[in-house]
Amino acid sequence: MLGYWDALYFVFVFIIGLILAYLLDKWAKRSGMGTRETGDGTKIFISGEDPDRIIPGFEHLEGNYTGRNVMWGLTYALKNFFAVLRRDHTGLLTDYASYLVITTAFVLGVLLIWG
Amino acid sequence: MNGETILPYLIIVPLFGAFSMPIISLAGRKAREAWAVIISGITLLVGSAVFHSVYENGPMLYTLGAKSPFGKANFPVRIVWEVDLLSALMVLMVTLVAFLAVLYSLGYMKHDTGLDKYYTLILILELGMLGIAITGDLFNFYVFLEIMSIASYALVAFRNDTWEGIEAGIKYMFVGSIASSLVLLGIALLYGQYGTLTMGYLAVKIAQNPTVVAKVALAFFIAGLLFKSGASPVHMWLADAHPAAPSSISAMLSGLVIKIGGVYALARILFSIYGSSVNMKTVGWVIIIFACITLIVGNAMAVIQTDMKRLLAYSSVGQIGYILLGIGIGLAAYGSRTGDIALAGAIYHTFNHALMKALLFLIAGAVIHELGTRNLNELSGLAKTMPKTTFAFLIGAAAIVGLPPLNGFASKWLIYESSAMFNPILATIAVIGTAFCTAAYVRVLYTFFGKPSEKVMNARDPDATMLWPMIILALAIIVMGLFPWQISDKVMIPVAKALENQLGYIATLMGGA
């Protein structure tokens, strides 16, 4: 039934998640290129990227990106969107006031036509 | 003592506390701090008693200076305070968070000067919010809105040794005053048209004769209060003001001020005054459009911040988007089960977010207190030296992202569910917003749990006065998360029903005759 959930469902989902993570870990260890369990000799599994090739700032565009760079991937993929947002947040008081006027005009227009 | 008898003390106690603060301050620092804690503590007790009374006995009405709102006229002419279940819940929320903020200030502000002004303003801020929550008179509402706003402007610029606070305070004051003027203009238009300021009676008059003037006034209310809520695209002041204020104040601004002066006031005006007089679907969709923009822009902007408090401020914008989405769907699907769930979700999230964001800002304050920076790039490995603070952050972040079994999950779930039932595209937008929100907080956690930098090596968890408010808020988040549906069924759904019940609101006023 919509509107209700049972905490038990989340326990089940959590257990299934743990099993999947374990299986993924096993698979990754088998297919990964690392030579050690821990330390510098470890290669990142799944993505198989060589950490030495990663340039600080993540500017390189060749090869794969490692799992730890998911955040970079998100911001890189949406960089145009974020650039627009950044450009829009000028910090200028006049812009703040302009947006308030535009918002008021929009609400007023909608309410007068369809309200 | 019944509810009506104690209600005035909700205003009297913080008002007395605020104006006696400069005199008490003459007795020294300890006396001043004790006085602030005692006053906010008593206000919390009164707030709890008011909530309990309204929950048990139904709405209460208090007429200022008379026994009846009618006075000697044949219509309600006196100023009234009308407290239904929603108002009472807001009162409980304000008094609780304000008390914890005052307690936290004892440690956090100990190196600051001018604290008599600080504690005076913090109590005035609290009483402004409480006034907004309980008033049933539109002009009285405006007075309290201004009391709250002016105290906020001053507190944002409290630390006037940096340009940041002063600039943010001036910007906030300037545009905030324009927004307040819009609200005042709306009130003036309604008073000119209908000749009354009592909310319940105004609802009757507008329903009898809905005019274009009433619609224009409504547009001014919506625009002004969307600004006060921090809704996008009029949210930009918030990202300046909330990080610039001392963290105890940021907790109150993000946790309370944008809720009471923004979304609560908006919901009260839309449901209790205009309920049956406007096209609810249109108004609902207007709110939904702003909600969708808000939750995407707010959460997305949080992702790209390197300043921890600015990140939290943008996150507040994003969370306001969810609350507005619930209110918008509650309006557009008015009277249906979808509308009920959405409204309950919005109210639930309002309360939850007050706790979560207060906690997160208090943590940010503890970090600044210890390290003197809020730049995320310098906070790597904080978990090693500030484990309790980091754990509290983990709780707050998980709750705000909506991770079960914490309190944020239940309220967000209600909002997702109602938006999916109302229009699946809205649910998709809400989930995209949450994806951004998750990214923003995971980044902070990744920083905290990363390799310790040299800068964090000397940090340690703050002292008890700062730690206890954080622990109490974290516990409240965990405990509320354990009983989500009991809280929803026993409190939030009845609160949503009380808000929707415009006739009940009017009857409480008229029954006071």
List, run by run, the mean pLDDT of 10-residue segments along chain B (513 residues): 82 95 92 95 95 92 87 86 94 95 92 90 95 94 96 92 90 94 96 93 93 94 95 92 92 93 94 89 95 95 91 95 95 91 94 95 92 86 90 94 87 91 92 92 87 83 90 92 86 92 89 57
Picking from A96, A99, A114 by the largest number of B CB atoms within 10 A of its own CB, the best residue to mutate is: A96
Residue of B110, B87, B64, B15 lying closest to B365 (CA atoms): B110
Please report the pLDDT score of residue B31 as a whole number: 94
* Percent above pLDDT 90 for chain A: 34
Please report the pLDDT score of residue B223 as a whole number: 96
Q: What residues of A are in contact with residue B171 (Cβ under 8 Å)?
A: 93, 96
Region A43-70 average pLDDT:
52
φ, ψ at B60 (rounded to 5°): -120, 150
Please report the pLDDT score of residue A34 as a whole number: 61
Contact check, Cβ <8 Å, B220/A104: yes
Whether A87 has its CB under 8 Å from any CB of chain B: the answer is: no
Task: Give the Cα separation of B262 and B324 in Å (integer).
Answer: 10
| A5 band by pLDDT with thresholds 50, 70 and 90 | low
Query: What is the DSSP track for B437-504?
Result: HHHHHHHHHHHHTSPPPGGGGG-----HHHHHHHHHHHHHHHHHHHSHHHHIIIIIHHHHHHHH-HHH
Please report the pLDDT score of residue A31 as a whole number: 66
- ipTM (interface predicted TM): 0.92
Alpha-carbon distances of B133 from B37, B77, B207, B213, rounded to whole Å: 22, 20, 24, 26
Separation in Å, CA of A73 to nearest CA in chain B: 11
Token pair, residue B485, equals 């549906």
Alpha-carbon distances of B180 from A87, B249, B255, B304, B465, rounded to whole Å: 27, 21, 20, 31, 36
Closest residue on chain B to A2 (Cα): B417
Q: What is the CB neighbour count within 10 angstroms for residue A112? A: 12
DSSP one-letter code for A37 = S
Please report the pLDDT score of residue B429 as a whole number: 94
Please report the pLDDT score of residue B220 as a whole number: 96
Tell me, rounded to whole angstroms, the distance of Cα B355 from its chain centroid.
10
Q: What residues of B are in contact with residue A1 (Cβ under 8 Å)?
A: none
Contact check, Cβ <8 Å, A10/B413: no
Amino acid at B282: T
Residues B404, B412 contacting (CB under 8 angstroms): no
| A60 band by pLDDT with thresholds 50, 70 and 90 | very low
Task: Give the Cα separation of B253 and B171 in Å (integer).
Answer: 15
Separation in Å, CA of B502 to nearest CA in chain A: 19
Please report the pLDDT score of residue B69 as a whole number: 87
Separation in Å, CA of B90 to nearest CA in chain A: 23
What predicted TM-score, i.e. pTM, was given to this entire model?
Answer: 0.90
Residues B351, B93 contacting (CB under 8 angstroms): yes
**Closest by Cβ to B278, choosing from A78, A88, A115:** A115
**Those residues with Cβ within 8 angstroms of residue A37's Cβ, 6 or more apart along the chain or in another chain:** none
Task: Sort residue B6 into left (φ over 0), alpha (ψ -120 to 50) or beta.
Answer: alpha
Contact check, Cβ <8 Å, A110/B282: yes
Residues B68, B14 contacting (CB under 8 angstroms): no
Compute the count of residue pairs across chains A and B with CB atoms less than 8 Å apart: 106
Separation in Å, CA of B104 to nearest CA in chain A: 30
Please report the pLDDT score of residue B208 as a whole number: 93
Whether B153 has its CB under 8 Å from any CB of chain A: the answer is: no
**Closest by Cβ to A96, choosing from B222, B237, B341:** B237
Task: Give the Cα separation of B142 and B121 in Å (integer).
Answer: 18
Where are the strands (E) in B299-379, listed by range? none
Separation in Å, CA of A66 to nearest CA in chain B: 15
Whether A22 has its CB under 8 Å from any CB of chain B: the answer is: no
**Domain segments of chain A: what residues?**
1-54
Whether residue B233 is preceded by a cis peptide bond, meaning omega within 30 degrees of 0, is yes
Contact check, Cβ <8 Å, A97/B175: yes
Where are the strands (E) in B156-305, listed by range? none
Whether A98 has its CB under 8 Å from any CB of chain B: the answer is: no
Q: What residues of A are in contact with residue B293 (Cβ under 8 Å)?
A: none
Q: What residues of B are in contact with residue A112 (Cβ under 8 Å)?
A: 212, 215-216, 219
**Closest by Cβ to B417, choosing from A2, A95, A112:** A2
Q: Is residue A43 over pLDDT 60?
A: no
Q: What is the CB neighbour count within 10 angstroms for residue B471? A: 15
Alpha-carbon distances of B501 from B86, B296, B489, B496, rounded to whole Å: 11, 31, 17, 9
Token pair, residue B317, equals 């914008």
**Helix (H) or strand (E) run with residue A41 in it:** none
